[in-house]
Chain A
């Protein structure tokens, strides 16, 4: 649905994008990950027809952005990394205004505004002035704004930035709901745990270069060896921990065992049956306090791909 090939962009002497290419298939949530200033916003602005690349191509729904920006605008809903709202307009008027900007027929605008306000859980705020809404509500309203013309593709630039934890969760659920509705979503962020739970595809960008892109599991598997499980032991001491390690190490499917604070971290192959490990530990008399997969794989993968060693290798 989105295809980006060899994008280059310079602002004066500053290189914003050096080599960016990735694809986002229809119906996927693509997490566009990178530190501040990596080139995420520039790429999204190119896809949103707000900037022109120096070289390279970007297509949305098969339409090249450079050849038919008007056609692309009909396909995309864009939410920038800042949310500007108009004072002295109600939430409903605000959405109706943007519906009119997207040439939604008169008779449909009111209904569209109401449907979207319900979708983003602001149905009871329809008559409230936009500038009186909380930041989280404004952010959800801006997402609703991006949907007024029922676009197939959503370009969301840091949609959860500056939100409190509750608002972040609400935003995440909303994005999942949009995927269920069949939207293809490109969402950028520099907060990796947030994206890890949300995205099906991922792309890492660092200093204007794409360092990895593809389905989430593929990227992780390419960068990290296996999945990681964390085992916490009751009243851990060296004897208990070494005993536990000996029980695990060498089993089929176990790649590596590391001693960590209060327990062990075990790297296992993707097909490994986690419960067998737990059974073995309990049978060996290890008092297991907790047993869970390690989250933060994406962060680990990102750090490995963008670390100082990578810079030297370039």
Chain B
């Protein structure tokens, strides 16, 4: 029986992960992106620190306040930067193989479509995880100021990771759909923009619409609830984690009610979900769908494996003697005119 460790080793023992990792880390781009990322994060963190301590000392008092402000700024900047880098890192994963003319050879190997997609996903996401990991000391330093509890810290990092993986997953799917990296990257940025900014704007507008349904306007009150569209947005989820101590949970029934602008008493059916939980759940589903879609696209590039396994008794063993004379047309030349 295989242990969990063995399964993990099997999952990570994927030649594409090693090859792409080695290949990526040998370019000048890897250290430049890492430096740029940490430099930008550090610069924004410092600017936030200066704003909190020097420019507005009257409004901000105590290290906890400063810590919370700087940590929040860093978390938002990190999420933005990861969202910016993710499509570029993943959108060429499979289309790049096609452009390099190495895809067919990969398909003729013993790697399954699932292994190819999994390897590409991990290889793409690994660099983003490296970026996130490399920024941890920066967050840890800010953590010393106080104002942020450990749970907030963990959820912040989790949201960043799942956002990176989900954008990476969708970009990977697009790289399997498009033959060229350029359109795949452009569409990946478009999808990321719609997912991150579009849902935020739509959610805000719909929330405003819900607010207009105030008592006295002839419509049932929505109690100032936010529209569920915002629950899909990691930026909103991050904002709630950092600024709302009770996490703004909402029952699933109420979310469905608000989603369709259904009038009536607030429903309390189903478990309560906090925005970060909803965002992570949606991102996990998105990754799963993207991976399944990408596997399907990769598999469609080669001869399908029949659902029914080949008849073991009928299939000759490789290496079995085969006399050419037994084969039709092998006894001599066949010439057709």
Contacts and interface: CB of A to CB of B under 8 A. Distances in A.
Interface of A: 1, 3, 5, 21-23, 25-26, 28, 45-46, 48-52, 61-71, 73-76, 78, 80, 82-89, 93, 97-98, 100-103, 145, 149, 152, 209-215, 218-219, 221-223, 305, 310, 313
A205 to B, nearest CB: 11
Contacts of A215: 332-333
Interface string B104-115: 111111110000
A213 B333 contact: yes
15 contacts: A25-B324, A46-B303, A48-B108, A61-B318, A63-B316, A64-B310, A66-B306, A78-B105, A87-B23, A103-B110, A149-B110, A215-B332, A218-B332, A221-B333, A305-B335
Given A76-B108, A101-B106, A65 B22 contact: no
A49 B113 CA distance: 13
B304 to A, nearest CB: 7
Contacts of A145: 105
B265 interface: no
Contacts of A67: 306, 310, 315
Contacts of B27: 88
A78 B333 CA distance: 26
Given A68-B315, A310-B337, A313-B337, A80 B110 contact: no
B224 interface: no
Contacts of A93: 19, 22
A222 B334 CA distance: 9
A61 B329 contact: no
A49 B108 contact: yes
Given A49-B108, A101-B109, A152-B318, A21 B329 contact: yes
Given A23-B327, A93-B22, A74 B319 contact: no
Interface string B6-41: 000000000100110011001100000000000000
Interface in B64-111: 97, 100-111
Contact of A97 (B19, B104, B315): B19
Contact of B101 (A46, A61, A84, A89): A84
B334 A214 contact: yes
**Which of the listed residues A5, A83, A97 has the most CB atoms from chain B within 10 Å of its own CB?**
A97
B26 A88 contact: yes
Contacts of A89: 19, 22-23
Contacts of A70: 110, 305
A63 B327 contact: no
A212 B320 contact: no
A88 B27 CA distance: 8
Contacts of A68: 305-306, 310, 315
Contacts of A82: 101
B323 interface: yes
Interface string B267-302: 000000000000000000000000000000000011
A86 B336 contact: no
A25 B334 contact: no
**Which of the listed residues B108, B320, B323, B328 has the most CB atoms from chain A within 10 Å of its own CB?**
B108
Contact of A85 (B102, B104, B303, B334): B102
B149 interface: no
A210 B97 CA distance: 33
Which size class do B's interface residues fall under? 35 or more
B322 interface: yes
A134 B256 CA distance: 63
A219 B102 contact: no
Contacts of B330: 23, 25, 214
A80 B101 contact: yes
Contacts of A221: 333
A69 B315 contact: no
Contact of B315 (A62, A88, A98, A223): A62
Given A212-B334, A222-B335, A52 B108 contact: no
A67 B314 CA distance: 11
A23 B305 contact: no
Given A49-B108, A62-B315, A215-B332, A86 B102 contact: yes
B336 A210 contact: yes
A48 to B, nearest CB: 5
Contacts of B324: 23, 25-26, 28
B96 to A, nearest CB: 10
Nearest to B119: A101
A65 B324 CA distance: 19
A50 B104 contact: yes
B179 to A, nearest CB: 14
B105 A65 contact: no
A169 to B, nearest CB: 25
Given A49-B302, A85-B102, A211-B336, A63 B111 contact: no
Contacts of B319: 61, 152
Nearest to B102: A84
A73 B337 contact: no
Q: Which 4 A-B pairs have the closest CB atoms?
A: A25-B324, A214-B333, A62-B316, A84-B101
A101 B316 contact: no
A305 B337 CA distance: 7
B102 A212 contact: no
A249 to B, nearest CB: 29
A98 B335 contact: no
A102 B110 contact: yes
B108 A50 contact: yes
A214 to B, nearest CB: 3
A86 B323 contact: no
B91 to A, nearest CB: 18
Contacts of A313: 337
A52 B337 contact: no
B235 to A, nearest CB: 36
Contacts of A21: 329
B303 A52 contact: yes
